[in-house]
């Protein structure tokens, strides 16, 4: 006997279902593109549908992965017939989640501050450590590169570019002295490094967005209208 997942997979693999899915995807794609002309009901429908489906999917995933898998299964494995030792500490998270919902009740909304304080404190502690190790210590370590020996000429040029870029960019943000003379020259070089970095980041962002746009155009012309040859893969 097939399970519910197998039955859904069989329905989705049906050619008619795939054709309907392509037409729905094409309609929603064109509805989003219609915003380029002006705001209209089709775009509003696609926008609200996207938000609603995303919220529903994330809610279902959160309930399954966090509440069911991480709390209920680990706290009551014997009751559910699952091998394992009960871990009742997971119920603390569930209790904090319930306390957080008390914010909706005015008379006891003050109790939600306990859960908020716990979440903020835990998140801050984890985030501070990861941010310092990733964006401070790792960046300083990557800046400590050999400048005179230890590699090919191309590698040394690369190391000098990194060293001068970091040094000049930091000098640009040094405001304890007026940027004149040598200090002004170094700060102006730092501006150039910053502009190159911002330009590269912006270009990468635009390239990513254009690749997404090309993907949707290829879908419309290929999968929907069949005006393009199928890719070799």
Looking at residue 4, what is its pLDDT?
64
On the question of pLDDT at 152 being above 60, the answer is yes
Domain range enclosing 101 = 89-144
Based on the fold, state whether residues 115 and 104 are members of the same structural domain: yes
On the question of pLDDT at 42 being above 90, the answer is yes
User: Residue 82 falls within a domain, yes or no?
Assistant: no
Looking at residue 99, what is its pLDDT?
93
**How sure is the predictor about 107, in pLDDT bands with cuts at 50, 70 and 90?**
very high
Based on the fold, state whether residues 47 and 66 are members of the same structural domain: yes
Based on the fold, state whether residues 29 and 55 are members of the same structural domain: yes
Between CA 143 and CA 167 the distance in angstroms is 10
Domain stops at, among 48, 74, 100: 74
Place of tokens 């502690």: 125
Asked if 49 contacts 31 with a C-beta cutoff of 8 angstroms, the reply is no
Place of tokens 């494995």: 77
On the question of pLDDT at 13 being above 90, the answer is no
Mean pLDDT (whole number) for 43-65: 96
**How sure is the predictor about 148, in pLDDT bands with cuts at 50, 70 and 90?**
confident
On the question of pLDDT at 84 being above 70, the answer is yes
| More reliable by pLDDT, 134 or 1 | 134
Q: What is the pTM of this model?
A: 0.75
Asked if 84 contacts 77 with a C-beta cutoff of 8 angstroms, the reply is yes
Based on the fold, state whether residues 94 and 154 are members of the same structural domain: no
User: Residue 79 falls within a domain, yes or no?
Assistant: no
Looking at residue 145, what is its pLDDT?
86
Mean pLDDT (whole number) for 40-50: 97
User: Residue 106 falls within a domain, yes or no?
Assistant: yes
User: Residue 156 falls within a domain, yes or no?
Assistant: yes
User: Residue 4 falls within a domain, yes or no?
Assistant: yes
Asked if 165 contacts 193 with a C-beta cutoff of 8 angstroms, the reply is yes
User: Residue 177 falls within a domain, yes or no?
Assistant: yes
Domain stops at, among 144, 160, 189: 144
On the question of pLDDT at 178 being above 80, the answer is yes
Based on the fold, state whether residues 66 and 113 are members of the same structural domain: no
Tally of structural domains, the chain = 3
Between CA 95 and CA 98 the distance in angstroms is 5
Based on the fold, state whether residues 120 and 192 are members of the same structural domain: no
């Amino acid at each position: 006997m097939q399970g519910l997942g197998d039955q859904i997979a069989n329905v989705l693999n049906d050619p008619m279902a795939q054709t309907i899915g392509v037409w729905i995807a094409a309609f929603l794609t064109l509805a989003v593109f219609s915003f380029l002309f002006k705001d209209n009901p089709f775009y509003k429908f696609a926008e609200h549908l996207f938000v609603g489906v995303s919220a529903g999917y994330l809610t279902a995933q959160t309930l399954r992965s966090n509440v069911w898998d991480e709390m209920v299964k680990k706290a009551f494995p014997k009751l559910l017939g699952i091998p394992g030792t009960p871990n009742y500490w997971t119920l603390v998270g569930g209790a904090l989640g319930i306390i957080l919902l008390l914010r909706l009740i005015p008379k006891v909304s003050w109790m939600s501050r306990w859960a908020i304080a716990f979440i903020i404190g835990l998140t801050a502690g984890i985030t501070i450590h990861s941010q310092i190790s990733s964006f401070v210590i790792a960046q300083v370590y990557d800046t400590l590169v050999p400048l005179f020996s230890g590699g090919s000429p191309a590698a040394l040029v690369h190391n000098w570019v990194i060293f001068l870029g970091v040094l000049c960019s930091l000098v640009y943000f040094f405001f304890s002295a007026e940027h004149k003379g040598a200090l002004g020259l170094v700060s102006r070089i730092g501006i150039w490094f910053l502009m190159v970095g911002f330009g590269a980041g912006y270009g990468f962002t635009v390239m990513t967005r254009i690749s997404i746009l090309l993907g949707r155009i290829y879908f419309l012309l290929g999968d929907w209208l069949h005006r393009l040859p199928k890719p070799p893969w």
